[in-house]
Structure formats: C-alpha cells, structure tokens
Amino acid sequence: MKDGFIKIACASPDIRVADCDYNTDKIIEMTKEAHSRGVKIVCFPELSVTGYTCGDLFFQEALGTSAENSLIRIVSETAELEIVSIVGLPLSFMNKIYNCAAVIFKGKILGIVPKENIPNYSEFYEARHFASGKGIDSSTFINGDYVTFGVNQVFECPDLPGLSFGIEICEDLWVADTPSVRHAQNGAVIIFNLSASDETIGKSDYRRTIIQAKSGSLLCAYAYADAGIGESTTDMVFSGHRIIAENGSVLSEALPFSGSGLTIADIDIHRILSERRKCSTFSSDAQSDYAFNAFRLNIEETKLDRRFSPNPFIPSDKKSLDSRCQSILKMQAAGLMTRLRHIGCKNVVLGLSGGLDSTLALIVTVHAFDMLGLDRKGIHAITMPCFGTTDRTYNNACLLAKSYGASLEEINIRDSVNQHFRDISQNPELHDVTYENSQARERTQILMDKANQLGGIVIGTGDLSELALGWATYNGDHMSMYGVNASIPKTLVRWLVSYEAQISDGVLKDVLLDVLDTPVSPELLPPEKDGSIAQKTEDLVGPYELHDFFLYYMMRFGFAPSKIFRISCLAFEDKYSPEIIMKWLKKFYWRFFSQQFKRSCLPDGPKVGSVTLSPRGDWRMPSDASVRIWIKELEDIERTL
C-alpha cells in the first residue's frame, strides 16, 4: 500500500446451489489464496454463500439459518488474515429477506449492505423473494454484535488516507440512479459489485462498457465479481465474468466462461485522488445519513503486478496507435488551419532543419494548407546552415520541402553569426552557450523578418518535452507565432513522423524514415571529423523516453518523486539501472523548475492531449518556485541505492 497502491481481487468460486457448507469452504479457501497473493480486499459474487439460483428455497428457514451460520464461520476462520472479505448471502431483517453483502475483517462484520434495486423483469423475479434495501438505515444483531444494516455505507481505512470503498449489488449497477454515485460523493474510491448476471449474446461487451464508463465518470476503481460455475442452468447460464477497471480503463479481466478463480489488480489510490482533486465538477458531498465504518490495515509495500508502459503517451497496440496518430495530426492541422483562416493568411514561414520536430511541423502545415485548399508554395521552408549543420540533415531538409511541394530557400547564417560574434566580442573558438544561442536567435530573426516580407506567420517547431526541460533558446527557437508541436512530447513526435512515413511512398517515405533514424540534435556545435553529428541532445539532458515518462506522471497525476522513481524502475527495468534513472530524474526536476520562465511566455499552440504546459491552459507555476523538497525526497532515496 506504499505509494497509494492496494491489491484487490474479484472471486468466482465453484459452488453448489443451496449447499452453504460447501460454498463456505470454497469462500474461505479462496480468501486464504487471495491473502497469500497479497490481496487486501476480496469480493465474492451475489448470494455466493447459498447460490443465486435457489428460487423459492430462499423462503426455507433451513437455508436462511445455514447461510447465517456460514457467515459466522467465515468470520471466525478468516479472523487471523489481514484481508477484507465481501461475501453475498440472504439475511432476514424486520420480517423480510434481503439480498445482502457482508463486509468481514479480522473476526468482525463491519457492515451489512442490502441490495437496493430488485429486478423483476425478463428472466429475473427477485421481488418474489427479496425486499429492497432502499432507505434502510439501521442495525441488526449478528454473532453477538450489533452491525450497521443499510445501503448508505462507506468502509474506510484511517491509516491509509483516501482508501475507502462502497458496495452495490448486481442490478444496482444497471439502473440510472446507481448507489455508486452516492458512495463516490461520500468518498469511496473503490466500488465493489457482487453480481449474478446471467450471460446472453452481447451482454459481456455491454457489461464491460458500462463498468468502464462508471469507473470513468465516478473517477474510481470498479471491481465486478460475477457468479459462475455451479449456479443452476435450468433457465440461465452464468459465466464468471470478472472485471476490475480504474478511471475508464480495464486493469484486469477474466473473460466469460474462463472458469472459477481470482482476478487481481493493483489499484492506484493516489491516481484516483489526483483526478478527483483536479476535476472541479466532481462532487464531494458527505451526507448525514451515511455510515463510515473503519478498518485498520497494516501499512506495507504492495508487491506490484501492475505494469507500466515505458511510453505512456503512446498506445500499445498498432491499430490504436495509428488511429491516435491520425487524430493528433488532424487536431494540430485544424488548429493551424483555424488560425490561418482567421487572419486571412496564405503564407507561412518555417525553419526546416531536417530534424524530427521541424519535420512534424512541416507535415502539420501541409495538412492545414490542404484543408484550406491553399497552394503549398505558400509554405516557405527555410534551411539555415551554420557551424553544426551536417550534410545528412541539410539534404533531408531540402528533400522534404521538395517532396511536399513547399517553397524552399537556403540562407547560410555563418557570416551573420560571425559578424555578431565580432559585435559582442565573442571568441568564435569558444563553444559555449553564447556560441550556440547566437545561432538559434539569428535563425529566429531571419524567420520573423521573412514572415514580415511575405505577409505571413512563423510556425514554431518546439515540442512539449523541450518545453518541460527548457531545452530551447529564449527568444530563439523558443519563439514563433503559432507552435503546432507545443503539446506533443518527443516520444510521440517520433511516432507521428513514423505514421506519416507509413502512409507515404517514394522519395518522401525514404526521407521521413531517414529523419527518424537521425540522432536528435540542435546542431549548434561543429560536426565530427567524419561529418557526423557531434552534439547529441540525449547525451546532455538524458533520454527523452525517461523524461517523457517523468513528465507524464508528474503532470497528469501529481505523483511524488519517490513514486515516479519506483514506477520508472519497473517500467525500464530491462533498460536502465536505478542509479541512471535517479540521475536523470533529478536532472528533470532541476530543469523543470529552473526553466519555468520560458513557459510563462509561450506562443499560442493547440492542446491535443491530457498533458500540456501552456500558461493559458493547464499549467500555472511561479518562475521562482523552489525545487528543494522534490530533490530532497530523491536524495533520501539515493542514499539507499
């Protein structure tokens, strides 16, 4: 549970209808198995103690008595386990039978939650046997103790702030006004659903969709435990479909008819809480009629089964990736198209270096011009070779412009920069920051002045990763009149260019592939003797895949440095050592804080994803904020490596 992770499970035991002793053995057995696998909360299906399909046997006193005795046995035989169990059974209360969930922990029943919505249509006739728990706020006497009995209950762990859960039972999920809405508004971050949903054609897809949607709209985790093997098949078939979703995404799933067993997932409580804090329309409204039942778990480090993609900005499957790339390019192009149409502009100026970022900017600009029906000759690509320009990038820039049908102009800036060095008494043999930035600012001046000549605007090429690290020359490549790549991280830039290559052919395809194969570099220092690029950005600031990973979890969820370090080590365990990850994570935080002033005056640019650094949109930060507490947290960890 360290770093906000908790392991939960949904269980589908193999049961026998109306055989409470057998079913109880299976429930206890699976609870012990879940405990041995590090699970802290396990949920069983609806009426799992008796079986859902008992029919009129629910009216038999013998079955009711056996079910209650089974509950007491589960309480007793799991008392030594550090695990919360949620089991389903029928219970009598005030001369009615209720379809209930019992919450059990360390030899006690924490609460009894009755089903609120009782289906009585199609193949369901629960109203024949069960009363609705709607409006009940009471207690009942079980096993020598009074236990809260009612639908409005949240179960929370005070030792782990934020860990709380609510319960609904099967049909409660499928109605318009679900109990889970109230539970979430009263603080529940996990919703457990004990279900006995029969299987019909297409139902599993709809079930999965509704669970994903519910976890997304409530910014919660939703764990669904379905009845399976052993339920009567007289009129229905049950598949044991188990799903655990978090904030709109399925974390773990046992497909229908995959058999009895446990479905386990690591829930990230901090991630859910982060989403709720940022979402101003999420309603937190503690109600006076809610019971809050405490349980105390030992605080320990959860052994994580959860996987973390090393590329969080990029979908893992090819179909989704292609669709995402297509959508992003359309969004970028639509943003630029709208700006050009608004100002009546038919000419743009773009510095084309032959690198990834300027290539993507050219691609976007071409798409925008095509949307407007403008002549691509209005795209004025300018290549400005200087001290660090290599033949490879120069030739690629020229081929790109020609292949897309853009206008191409070469302006060599060596003489201008050397004159500037003389003006400011800069030694041209001193390859310092002035040497580098003078070239970047000269290029920007040329682009701005050419835009004036042509009655156009300058298209910015810098990306999100560079903005996060401040890897841009202030008032150099930092500045433009519209930054089309402003919310595209470097790892995604690569995939967008790759997608464009995939749908291209001939010379254009070849040059795009070569751009992808070229090391990332500002090319501000002279090349090697063999003409290859000497200045490689990732040698200086670190691997962009690491920085994009850090950026995603810092910005998207506000994770602490220690948690980002932990999940980075998991995501990159086969590629980078913890020491290397720590080195670049410290560098990331230092640069992110020290370079905020560059982000405070960014040009306009379209937001296309959930992470962006625009001072007008998602990120407002003082330029003189201290990074001390972030670095200190990492240094404390570093001493243990």
Catalytic residue list: 46, 115, 170
Count Cα neighbours of 155 within 13 Å in the Cβ-side half-sphere.
28
SS3 at position 245: strand
Alpha helices in 256-317 (DSSP H): 269-278
SS3 at position 65: helix
- CA dihedral sign of residues 142, 145, 146, 150: negative
- What lies within 8 Å, CB to CB, of 373 at 6+ separation is none
* Four-point Cα dihedral 542, 548, 549, 552, nearest 10: 150
- Give the separation between CA 570 and CA 581, rounded to whole angstroms: 11
- Give the separation between CA 128 and CA 38, rounded to whole angstroms: 40
Alpha helices in 299-432 (DSSP H): 318-343, 356-372, 391-404, 414-423
CA 86-87-92 angle, 5° bins? 120
Place of tokens 């055989």: 19
CA–CA distances in Å: residue 419 to residues 147, 191, 425, 432, 439: 86, 68, 10, 17, 11
Place of tokens 């007793």: 76
Tokens read off for 576: 């980078």
Cβ neighbourhood burial of 640 (10 Å; 0-12, 13-18, 19+): exposed
| Residue 563 backbone class (left: φ over 0; alpha: ψ -120 to 50; beta: rest) | alpha
Contact 549, 312 (CB under 8 A): yes
Nearest CA-CA partner of 220 in 254, 259, 192 = 192
Question: How does DSSP classify residue 198?
Answer: B
Tokens read off for 619: 């990120």
Contact 53, 236 (CB under 8 A): yes
Sort strands 164-169 and 190-195 into parallel, antiparallel or unpaired: parallel
CA–CA distances in Å: residue 583 to residues 400, 547, 574, 606, 638: 37, 11, 17, 32, 9
Cα 337 to chain center, whole Å? 30
DSSP assignment of 179-211, as one string?
HHHHHHHTT-SEEEEEE-PBP-TTHHHHHHHHH
3-state helix, strand, coil in the chain (%, to 5): 40, 20, 40
